[in-house]
Structure 1
């Protein structure tokens, strides 16, 4: 299985209406916030905070894609 196959399967999965609804749920919002905060904190720690604005921007952009807020 190549990267194109994986990409196609992921697009099919994310295109499913049930998956779309689950990603826009309150539960997904809470989980995604915790995950994104943890990743952003780790990235800031590794970079010594040099890229905090960019990391926060990426975190906020990702947060808009998951959950309901």
Structure 2
């Protein structure tokens, strides 16, 4: 099963790298629309979910191929630093 999913994972990673800015912009627009529809009632949850989605997208964009090579440590495979996120607008 992993052998069949490997190429798909690489393709998703490539797409995330190429279109990351568009994906993040879409996430921001969707979050803003939902926040407006709910009249701000769930702003904290929407912002949290948007941040998690952006973090996941960043992790996908920084993956190379099917994962870390032999001898890679527990921190191998990319990721993003835990810095402040810009506010959802």
Q: Which runs of 5+ in 1 are unaligned?
A: 1-11
Map of 2:53 onto structure 1 = 62
SS in 1 for 2:37: helix
Across the aligned residues of Structure 1 and Structure 2, the Cα RMSD in angstroms comes to 2.3
**Structure label with greater radius of gyration:** 2
- Output the TM-score relative to the length of structure 1: 0.64
Q: Where does structure 1 differ by over 4 angstroms across 4 or more consecutive aligned residues?
A: none
How many residue pairs are counted as aligned between the two chains? 56
**Which runs of structure 2 are paired with 1:1-69 in the superposition (5 Å)?**
12=5, 16-25=8-17, 27-67=18-58, 68=61
Q: Which runs of 5+ in 2 are unaligned?
A: 62-79, 81-89
Choose between structure 1 and 2: higher helix proportion. Answer: 1
Equivalents in 2 of 1:38, 1:54: separation in Å? Answer: 15
Equivalents in 1 of 2:7, 2:47: separation in Å? Answer: 27
User: Contact between 1:28 and 1:66, CA under 8 Å: does it hold in 2?
Assistant: no
